[in-house]
Structure 1
Amino acid sequence: MIVTLTPNPSLDRALDVHRLVPGEVVRATAVHVHPGGKGTNVSRALVRHGVASRAVLPVGGADGERLVELLAAQGVPVVAVPVAGDTRTNITLAERSGTTTKINAPGATLSGAEVDALLGALAAALDGASGLVAAGSLPSGATDDLFVRAAALAADRGIPFALDTSGEPLERSARAGGLDLLKPNDNELAALVGRPLTTVGDVVDAAREVIAAGTRYVLVSLGAHGALLVTGERTWWAGGEPLVPLSTVGAGDMTLAGFLSADGPAADRLRTAVAWGRAAVRMPGTAVPDPAAVDLAAVRVLEAPDPRLTPKELL
């Protein structure tokens, strides 16, 4: 059982439009409503592919109730921690060209007691767990060390901990170490180390700085250019032919879920991760692709990619 923690979940509404024209009336051709939040997306993907997962999240208001109902309908067990504020709603505008515009609401403000209740619920949910994933932004009221505290709960139980976040929470957690897996995208990793990452070698060097602080794997999403998996000694790249996406929202979450779902050598896990991410961008909104949509054969894996190349030159 892989437990996920989503401190700032959302109800995601995606609208398909022909073209977004600022300042004009734009009519949607379709509307999609999905459970949102990076950790909940990981749980949804794992369950859809037959991997047991439980989602821990704060919930408030009517949209919070709808979020729990949607997760339950998808077979995801939920540990819902009641909070006074309303669960946020995020809006995605997906153009026919593949361009996606995401508008994220700030989310409910949690009190200190509500944060403690969330971590208490997480501690109870970790009994018998095989892994913990903490993901997404932090709500107002939560301090930047929330994920460090979650990592400590996992470490006390000998449970591998994976993290997908950004900004100060990412910096605090990377500096504290104790991570089995960190999954930034290339921009988040660049912000973490404080310099641009132009070449593959730049990305690998930055990932190894994180590894030196106490992380086992760094899985770096490169968007349309695939992903890099870095350890202290080895590096792999995986990617495939360019796709025209329906929606890129949640693709990184599917990539993380794919990596966690797979067994065997690191290269095989990376292939699965990228295949899941590629399948996700061909779905509307944050819909989760089913196993039949995942094409492992379309993903090429390369060990020790040339560090002088830029990511787009690997394709």
Structure 2
Amino acid sequence: MILTVTPNPSLDRTYEVPALARGDVLRATGDRVDPGGKGVNVSRAVAAAGHRTTAVLPLGGAPGTLLAELLVAQGVDVTAVSISGQTRSNISLIEPDGTLTKVNAPGPELTPTESALLLDTVRGCSGGAEWIACCGSLPRGLEPQWYADLVARAREGGARVALDTSGPALLAALPARPDVVKPNACELAAAAGRPLATLGDVLDAAQELRSRGAGAVLASLGADGQLLVEGEGIHYGTARVPADRLRSNVGAGDAALAGFLAAGGAGPAALASALAHGAAAVRLPGSVMPSPADLDPDAVRTTQDPPLDLPLSEPATP
């Protein structure tokens, strides 16, 4: 069972538009509403793969009620922490070439009582969990140290912890020794405090995060693939996705993390699973999570000898 924690979940409203023109009236060619938030998407992908998952969420208002209903319909067990604020709604605009424009709401402000209750709820639900995935931004009212407290409590209970966040929250949590962290290239550059132009730069920055407490680093590099740096070695991989098959990259990184954890959370097989899940997600509309039928393992290539001089197609800056 994989438990996920999303401190700032959302309803994700996605609209497919012919083109994005500032100041125009845009007429959508397609639309959908999905449960949103990084940990929410991880649970959705885990459930789609046929595994048990529980999502721990602070929920409030009608959007929170709808979010829980949508998750239950997708086979996700929901443990809700009731909050006085209203769950946020995010907007995504997708153009035909896959270009994504997002508007993310800040979300509600959690009170100290709600913050403490969320921590206690995670601890109470964690029995029997193989992994606890702590994902996404922190809402107003939660200090960067909150994830560090959550990681420490989870590790005390014997669970393995995956952390997917950024900025001060990521740096504050590293001394608590999460088993794996999953930054994208820009988040990794921000954590390292310098630009990353090559795969070798990514490796150096990932090793720095490990020296600061992370057990392993799964770096998501978009079209350039993924790099897994762990105590047992270094693994790099890519997944082929034809340009005409791209639909949406919303939640692709979350699908990759779900694939990684569901395949054991370590080693080349888990990396291959992450790549297959991420590649499948970008071929689906909105933030739809892939099922096993959507995966194409033959499109995945992994190696233990990564081309460190490979330039990133989009150099990452802090």
**Equivalence for 1:157:** 157
For the 8 Å contact 1:199–1:309, the answer to whether it is kept is yes
Local SS of the residue matching 1:24: coil
**Equivalence for 1:90:** 90
**Equivalence for 1:77:** 77
Local SS of the residue matching 1:170: helix
Report how far residue 309 of structure 1 moved: 1.8
Report how far residue 232 of structure 1 moved: 3.9
Q: Distance in 2 between matches of 1:219 and 1:312?
A: 18
Check 1:87–1:265 CA distance in 2 against 1; reply closer, same or farther (3 A cut). Answer: closer
TM-score of the pair, normalised by structure 1: 0.96
Amino acid in structure 2 at the alignment position of 1:276: H
**Equivalence for 2:5:** 5
Report how far residue 127 of structure 1 moved: 1.6
Q: After superposition, what is the alpha-carbon deviation per residue over 1:125-166, rounded to whole angstroms, capped at 9, x for unaligned?
A: 112211100000000001111111110111111110000011
Q: Distance in 2 between matches of 1:165 and 1:81?
A: 21
Local SS of the residue matching 1:274: helix
For the 8 Å contact 2:184–2:220, the answer to whether it is kept is yes
For the 8 Å contact 1:177–1:213, the answer to whether it is kept is no
For the 8 Å contact 1:234–1:304, the answer to whether it is kept is no
Check 1:194–1:31 CA distance in 2 against 1; reply closer, same or farther (3 A cut). Answer: same
Q: Distance in 1 between matches of 2:105 and 2:265?
A: 39
For the 8 Å contact 1:258–1:273, the answer to whether it is kept is yes
Identity, % of aligned pairs? 48
**Equivalence for 1:181:** 180
Q: Distance in 2 between matches of 1:106 and 1:56?
A: 19
Report how far residue 306 of structure 1 moved: 2.3
1:147-226 mapped onto 2 (5 Å cutoff): 147-174=147-174, 176-226=175-225
Q: Distance in 1 between matches of 2:80 and 2:158?
A: 24
1:217-236 mapped onto 2 (5 Å cutoff): 217-232=216-231, 234-236=233-235
TM-score of the pair, normalised by structure 2: 0.95
**Equivalence for 1:247:** 248
Check 1:85–1:229 CA distance in 2 against 1; reply closer, same or farther (3 A cut). Answer: same
Check 1:43–1:171 CA distance in 2 against 1; reply closer, same or farther (3 A cut). Answer: same
Check 1:277–1:264 CA distance in 2 against 1; reply closer, same or farther (3 A cut). Answer: closer
Post-superposition, which runs of at least 4 consecutive aligned residues in structure 1 deviate over 4 A?
none
For the 8 Å contact 1:11–1:90, the answer to whether it is kept is yes
For the 8 Å contact 1:252–1:277, the answer to whether it is kept is yes
Amino acid in structure 2 at the alignment position of 1:81: V
1:22-171 mapped onto 2 (5 Å cutoff): 22-171=22-171
Check 1:264–1:45 CA distance in 2 against 1; reply closer, same or farther (3 A cut). Answer: closer
For the 8 Å contact 2:123–2:153, the answer to whether it is kept is yes
Amino acid in structure 1 at the alignment position of 2:277: W
Q: How many residues of Structure 1 are paired with residues of Structure 2 in the alignment?
A: 312
Unpaired segments of 5 or more residues in structure 2?
none
Amino acid in structure 2 at the alignment position of 1:272: S
Report how far residue 11 of structure 1 moved: 0.4
For the 8 Å contact 2:259–2:270, the answer to whether it is kept is yes
Check 1:240–1:129 CA distance in 2 against 1; reply closer, same or farther (3 A cut). Answer: closer
Report how far residue 233 of structure 1 moved: 5.7
Unpaired segments of 5 or more residues in structure 1?
none
Q: Distance in 2 between matches of 1:240 and 1:116?
A: 41
Amino acid in structure 2 at the alignment position of 1:92: S
Report how far residue 263 of structure 1 moved: 3.7
CA RMSD of aligned residues (A): 1.4
For the 8 Å contact 2:90–2:102, the answer to whether it is kept is yes
Check 1:149–1:293 CA distance in 2 against 1; reply closer, same or farther (3 A cut). Answer: same
Check 1:240–1:131 CA distance in 2 against 1; reply closer, same or farther (3 A cut). Answer: closer
For the 8 Å contact 1:38–1:135, the answer to whether it is kept is yes
